[in-house]
Amino acid sequence: MSRTRAIPLSTRSSAAILATSVVGLLAFVWPLLAPRGSEILAHASDAPLLFGLLVPLLLALTLSLVGEGAMGAKAIALLGVLAATSAALRALGAGIAGLEPIWIVIVLGAYALGAGFGFVLGPVCILASALLTGGVGPWLPFQMIAAAWVGLGAGVLAGRLPARAEIPLLAAYSTVAAVAYGWMLNLWFWPTATGLPEALSFVPGAGPMTNVSHWFVFNMTTSLGYDLPRAALTCVAILLVGRRVLAALRRTSRIAAFDATPVFDGTPVMGEAVVAGAATVVGATPVVGAAPTAVADPTFEAGPQIDPEPSR
């Protein structure tokens, strides 16, 4: 299956995606890397807010670089349609027990339209749905960067899965991505959470292995009730409607012809009126600086001729 890239990735935009991903990853895992006695742990409650300001700025810069000269009007229009669809779907789910149909749009849209489009689609869908459902808060930047990774991963798979097995494999990917998304989102607040049992809580300076094990236990005991329904809904929906949705997206992509480059040769079409100076010439190429020339209209048919000397 040939890959369609609604937003081609250049070296510059790929580097911006990499830099944003590194900063976003640090925003999630920095407490696990801080050594015992580090002064940065004294500002643990401030760090989510600082990263919450930094991540959207870098994400906005990356989106502008990705779309610079590559995101045309057709890609923007399709992005808006998918973002509106995901916002409506998230409003239907309302996040109850982790039921969020938004991931169906992100995974299938990114797989059908490429990694660059997927990296943009994820955060735009999250932002649009958050504005609609009132889900704006300090957690939003972390949701946006995590959704960008989910879309990027689905886009990277495009063209690499066998056609007959792409739907089951996409369903499997969406299951893993839905659970990983929930576990990653826990990292933005878990280090500063209070009132947790010692086996579930973050221990400042205890070392990466200890805190990772506590984080794993925290996810298994408190998060799976939301993560598994999200994963199950996304997986089942992709198995049921994934092939039809992909067919519709691919048909839209072929009609939009994202990869096509228009070429203008400057040759007028026969029968098209071309203005040369003040005259209109049919089917001819105007000459710059030439005086208007009267040209007979080939479609004109002469009327009947009258004999000046009628027969007597």
Residue 282: phi, psi to the nearest 5? -95, 120
Is the pLDDT at 291 greater than 90? The verdict is: no
pLDDT in tens, 37-70: 555 554 455 556 656 666 676 667 666 655 565 5
**Would you say residue 119 lies in a domain?**
yes
* Range of weakest confidence among 20-34, 198-212, 253-267: 253-267
Could you count the other beta carbons within 10 Å of the beta carbon of residue 215?
Answer: 23
What was the pLDDT predicted at 244?
A: 95
Is the pLDDT at 278 greater than 50? The verdict is: no
Is the pLDDT at 188 greater than 90? The verdict is: no
Minimal CA–CA distance to 144: which of 131, 127, 130? 127
User: Any alpha helices (H) in 34-71, and if so which ranges?
Assistant: 47-67
pLDDT in tens, 190-215: 888 888 898 888 887 777 888 899 99
Residue 275: phi, psi to the nearest 5? -90, 125
What was the pLDDT predicted at 215?
A: 92
CA distance readout (Å), 12 to 57, 70, 119: 17, 12, 15
**Would you say residue 266 lies in a domain?**
no
Mean pLDDT on 253-262 = 67
**Would you say residue 185 lies in a domain?**
yes
Domain encompassing residue 166: 11-256
Mean pLDDT on 18-28 = 84
Is the Cβ–Cβ distance between 102 and 85 less than 8 Å? no
Number of residues written out for the chain: 312
**Would you say residue 293 lies in a domain?**
no
pTM of the model: 0.75
Is the Cβ–Cβ distance between 103 and 230 less than 8 Å? yes
Is the pLDDT at 110 greater than 90? The verdict is: yes
The CATH number linked to 217 is 1.10.1760.20
Structure tokens at 96: 């109850």
**Would you say residue 81 lies in a domain?**
yes
Q: What is the mean pLDDT of the chain?
A: 77
Which residue reads 């071309």 in tokens?
274
Structural domains of the chain, count: 1
**Would you say residue 3 lies in a domain?**
no
Q: What interhelical angle do 140-157 and 102-113 show, nearest 10?
A: 40
Residue 177: band (very low, low, confident or very high) from pLDDT cuts 50, 70, 90: very high
What was the pLDDT predicted at 228?
A: 92
- H/E segment holding residue 19: helix 11-33
**Would you say residue 292 lies in a domain?**
no
Q: Say which amino acid occupies 302.
A: A
- H/E segment holding residue 274: strand 273-276
**Would you say residue 27 lies in a domain?**
yes
